[in-house]
Structure 1
Amino acid sequence: MEIASKLYEIDWIILSITLLFIVVYGTYVTRKNSNVTDYIKGGNDTKWWTIGLSVMATQASAITFLSTPGQAFHSGMGFVQFYFGLPIAMVIICVVFIPIYHKLKVYTAYEFLEGRFDAKTRTLTAILFLIQRGLAAGITIFAPAIILSAVLGWDLLTLNIIIGVLVIIYTVSGGTKAVNVTQKQQMIVIFLGMLVAFFMIFSQLPEEITFTKVIEIAGASGKMEVLDFSFDLNNRYTVWTGFIGGTFLMLSYFGTDQSQVQRYLSGKSVRESQLGLIFNGLLKVPMQFFILLVGVMVFVFYQFNSAPLNFNPKVKDEVLKSKYAVTYQQLESEHKAIEDAKKMLLKDGFQIEEKEQIQKLNTQDLAIKESARKIIDKIDETSIEKIESNDKDYVFIHFILNNLPKGLIGLLLAVILSAAMSSTASELNALASTTAMDLYKRNITDNKSEEHFVKASKWFTLGWGILAILVACVANLFDNLIQLVNIIGSIFYGNVLGIFLLAFFIKFIKGNAVFIAALITQIIIILVWYLDWLPYLWLNLLGCALVMTIATLIQLASSKPSKILNE
């Protein structure tokens, strides 16, 4: 039976009504924006809870709700360490960044840099933002589209266009306020959907399996290892990468990325903006922990129920048409035998003495899955269409479509698409604002009216929306989609953060030194990433340290010591 046929009429109704309501509501309530302050800064009347939810929705894209449960299914809870630096970053931004931005009444974060340094530094930093965020906007559309197209049989190109067009409609119409008000509705849908998914998974486990037993079963398989205090640079997620690399990434993302800065620049006051970020800092880590826990619950569910050897539905069809069909079927038989053995061990509930046997079976199953991946990769090398062997992004959607009752499938699909829309809307809004204010308005000599810049911002929103759809249409899957977005950010964020820290704290550094240092740093960071010398989270710290060090050395070399001391 086609997986798409498992969508019932009620699922289509719930999905369609949810998405249409968000678009119509966002367009209607923000239809009267007539000036730049209303369009770009949301009228400066946003309450703290709206800011907090909007900031959270901007970061929590569809990738979060597709990839994160799959990450926990395969690798356990350790990914939550990635977010450990977020509360620290929120406090620093509230104390340092927000008061300065509000005092200067800037429309974008990069506007501040011209007053502190010069126009070329502002322009360079804005361009770095536009490059990385423009790519990310395409990925936030592409991520849910490619996965839904694979599991539902929907046309990928059509899905990319539908998601992009829905977002463009209300973002062009209402600007920042439209993004803020729709993200409140989207976060309600997301929270409700994930809570329902959690309880539905638990309800489908055997009666004798309590929540304590769930944790024990997951722990026996190494899924509950939350904290890693090692200093191994080959390990992407440790307490240290979270607190150090994560803090620098979050500082740069929330403090200098216009898609986030624009959320709290719309605040009614400094205090409202600060409360919104503190709200996000307090809730974000528990939310990510909960989403990972949902992935662990899915893992435990499949200890009692059959799971495919690979969750990507395209894989089996392609493999069975290849010369490796017999070998793959043998691996499937071995995988099924291990599943049956685990079910026998767990049939009367998990007993702690069975832990070693389960670990042994899981090790054998991992070896079988690795052999299957090698076969898939061999086929992928000769196939015209890309076949993704890494199935992390398909685990949760597979569970939703095959195990949830009708109605709830539509709700969870609405969660995924709402998250895609909310994140993409913030990105398009920020891309348009940066283009309009930092490039277009900054370099226009004629006096133009407020209405002109509102129209220009709308055209830029449309242009970036079309570009995001085009990026989505030519994108390819990576190791894991949530990692891909963070890798793209890490390549640019450290450099940008270093520029802002120089602006805030190192007063004798001038524009020329920063500009040259930023160019050199960006080249070095791209080389370090390309040669895979460091885990990507450490690129944030390296980029920040490099640009600050190089700028300081250039300034010292070009200035007289006495002049520096006087300053």
Structure 2
Amino acid sequence: MTASPDVPGFSIADYVIFGLLLLVSASIGIWHACTGGKQRTTGEFLMANRMMGPIPVACSLTASFMSAITILGTPAEHYIHGCMYSLFGITYALVMILSAELFMPIFYKLKVTSAYEYLEFRFNSKFVRVLGSATFICQMVLYMGIAIYAPSLALNAVTGFTLWGSVLTCGLVCTFYTTIGGIKAVLWTDVFQLTVMVAGFLAVIIQGSINVGGWGVVMERSRAGGRLEFANFDPDPTVRHTVWTVLIGGIFTWLPIYGINQSQVQRYLTCRSMKAARIAIYLNIPGLGLILALAACSGLVMYASYYDCDPFTAGYVNQSDQLMPYFVMDILSFLPGLPGLFVACMFSGALSTVSSGLNSLAAVTGEDIIKQIWPKMDDNKYTKITKILALSYGLLCIFMAYISSLMGSVLQAALSIFGMIGGPLLGLFSLGMFFPWANSKGAVVGLFSGLIMSFWVGIGGFIYKPFVEKPPLETYNCPNETVSNITTTTMQYVSGQTTAAFNTITTQEAPVTIIQDTYPAIADYYSISYLYYGGVAWIAVIVVGLIVSFITGPTKPEEVDPKTISPLADKCCCCLSASTRETLYCGVQFKVEEEEKKYSLDNKPNIADTSDANVQVDIDDGVVNGTTLQHESGL
């Protein structure tokens, strides 16, 4: 098929389908506000009384960061650059293993509500805890505004669907069901929204394949167009996507999300046992793999449809994230309701991301700030405050969407901030969990060093954009008579030399060559793949944190609470003898007497308190002894 400068707009049926998404999501919130405990306690509102099963939690973990940005960007990535991005399926599996075995057990055994409580447990410093919380709050508030605005903008540009109507509608509906229904509403709406995402992708893949003549044609055209490359083993760190950048750099991109991000940690801590939490995390391997596969297939179907007339190069769309909405309106508009289904798919990603963020922001602000100021606050009052916090963050999210609209070309830089902050935060938690010598001074200086390094490289990469070699995009069969062919050539610059990237545009008139400005030699450093940003920051936090810790007086490993250290020797060297593993503990007292294999709540680090010292938690599966665990942080 051939791309067209104009595509049909939304029909009444499309608006109805989109409206049903919002109605069902809101109804789930109302249901959980009126049933069970009616969200009257913080234990239910923030943690679902820690009694959830693995299936809904797994769906929520999958949906929470499969945002609309991902739903738009992943198909476009495969359309423009090819299938190297699909190797993230392996990365997801590695990240889930690390999260389930190294990070989750620490959080679960401590029975935290906020992941940043761990920082005070480990470093015995409220400042480190608040610093980590504040960093997370800044990260999520900015990201959530963009998570709503970016898909609304793309949809508006292609379909004419009202921009601020979609921003306000999604923002308000999401805020509504999150505020009244708590985390149970978030979890179950994520299950519904994940189903909608899958249905939307399937509609695009099936109809698109039919239009081009079948899946065999899709694969043939994709292969001829160079979109099926999976084996680029180039060790050059400046190449955008290779096997190494995706597998190694991808771990440092996604592990901060599934390992230590409050939105995800809070979800698997709602599980009734550690075993259930581990199952929920591992179920994300097929879950994320399915979404990635559907998005990749959508991108290949889109390329097969436009292999001879690229709408992006031809100027029918202005941004790559508009390709997918354009394609949907082009191939599905003759079937009333199906474009609406994909829009529902796209905004399901936005709703799941924002609702998870709102609930986690309320938890972090309440636990790490409000309860530190008023530690003896009545739980009923505290529950009302957390609901007000969720509502306030929802309104702030909508405001940040407006701020995003003023950013213009800075929007892409703002999106990358999420990744640039994640690496340093992962480094901070890794410093505490894997290096018993680290102290609070090393943690603070290390975190700031990582943030500086990450933002320096990230902003430099945005200013001095690296040259990316792309497979060809053709326009020889476009109906626009002013464009007969476009050949894109991209050159890598050489350090210290005058270089340029250029596009030769062949039209009915004379060829035009567009030359970019000369890049300075330092651009070599900034040209590192964006997937390595988190890894660079992680290394900076660990190295600087350990150096500062040893200079200022390292923590003695035997004095560190073993519940705050991840026993790498047991996880990675389980085949070694007990004495050898004990040596690898580096002095940390991991051994526990058999009769003491129960955690009583008052054995938690001394900053935690409880009124019931008889409640015990099993060290292996985290089962609460028949009692709902209520944790109150003291000063």
- 1:528 aligned to 2:531? no
Bigger shift: residues 268-277 or 3-12: 3-12
Kept in 1: contact 2:439–2:555 (CA 8 A): no
**Map of 2:360 onto structure 1:** 430
Task: Call closer, same or farther: CA 1:294–1:4 in 2, change over 3 Å.
Answer: closer
Match of residue 265 from structure 2: 261
Instruction: State the distance in 2 between where 1:562 and 1:92 align.
Output: 26
**Map of 1:36-435 to 2, 5 A cutoff?**
36-117=42-123, 118-206=125-213, 210-303=214-307, 308=311, 310=313, 389=318, 391-404=319-332, 405-435=335-365
CA distances 1:424-465 after superposition (whole Å, capped 9, x unpaired): 1111111111111111112325x2111112111111111111
- Higher mean C-alpha displacement, 118-127 vs 144-153: 144-153
Q: TM-score, normalised by structure 2?
A: 0.72
1:26 is aligned to 2:29: yes
C-alpha contact (below 8 Å) 1:130/1:431 kept by paired residues? yes
Change (3 A) 1:456 1:561: closer
Equivalent residue pairs, number: 486
CA contact (8 A) 2:64 2:352 kept: yes
* Cα separation, 2, equivalents of 1:437 and 1:311: 52
Q: 1:467 aligns with which of 382, 387, 396?
A: 396
**2:204–2:298 contact (8 Å) kept in structure 1:** yes
Q: Deviations over 1:205-231 (max 9, x none)?
A: 23xxx4233212111111111332112
Deviations 1:488-526 (A, max 9, x none): 222111211111112112112111221122123212221
Query: Which of 525, 529, 533 matches 1:539?
Result: 533
User: Is the contact made by 1:3 and 1:153 (CA closer than 8 Å) also made in structure 2?
Assistant: no
Kept after mapping to 2: 8 A contact 1:69/1:292: yes
Q: For residues 4 and 434 of structure 1, do their structure 2 counterparts lie closer, same or farther at Cα, with a shift above 3 Å needed?
A: farther
Greater shift after overlay, 280-289 or 46-55?
Answer: 280-289
Report the 3-state secondary structure (helix = DSSP H, G, I; strand = E; otherwise coil) of the residue aligned with 1:531. helix
Aligned residue in 1 for 2:566? none
* Residue type at the aligned position of 1:280: N
1:91-123 CA-partner distances (Å, limit 9, x unpaired):
122112222212111001111110111111111
Which residue number in structure 1 is paired with residue 437 of structure 2? Answer: 508
* Structure 1 position 479, deviation (Å): 7.9
| Matching residue's letter, 2:551 | A
- How big is each residue's C-alpha offset from its partner over 1:253-308, in whole Å with a ceiling of 9 and x where there is no partner? 1111111111111111111111111010233134213211211111111237x654
After superposing the two structures, state which structure 1 stretch, 526-535 or 454-463, moved more: 526-535
Q: Call closer, same or farther: CA 1:556–1:54 in 2, change over 3 Å.
A: same
Q: Does the 8 A contact of 2:167 with 2:401 survive in 1?
A: yes
Identity of aligned residues (%): 27
The match for 1:12 is: 15
Name the SS of the counterpart of 1:418 in structure 2.
helix
Task: Pick closer, same or farther for the CA change 1:2–1:297 going to 2, 3 Å.
Answer: closer
Q: Distance in 2 between matches of 1:184 and 1:73?
A: 28
Please give the TM-score of this superposition, normalised by the length of structure 1.
0.81
Which shifted more, 223-232 or 159-168? 223-232
Amino acid at match of 2:171: G
| CA RMSD, 1 decimal | 2.5
Contact 1:46 1:267 in 2 (8 A): yes
1:557 corresponding residue in structure 2: 551
Distance, in Å, in 2 between the alignment partners of 1:258 and 1:413 is 28
| Higher fraction of helix | 1
CA gap of 1:52–1:424, structure 2 versus 1, over 3 A, is same
Answer whether contact 1:140 1:423 (CA < 8 A) is retained. Answer: yes
List gaps (5 residues or longer) in structure 1.
316-388
C-alpha separation in 2, matches of 1:30 and 1:437: 22
The aligned amino acid for 2:42 is V
Which residue of structure 1 aligns with residue 426 of structure 2? 497
The AA in structure 2 aligned to 1:436 is G
Partner amino acid for 1:418? S
Structure 2 vs 1, CA of residues 100 and 61 (structure 1 numbering), >3 Å: closer, same or farther? same
Secondary structure at 1:84 match in 2: helix
Structure 2, unpaired ranges of 5+:
462-525, 559-585, 589-635
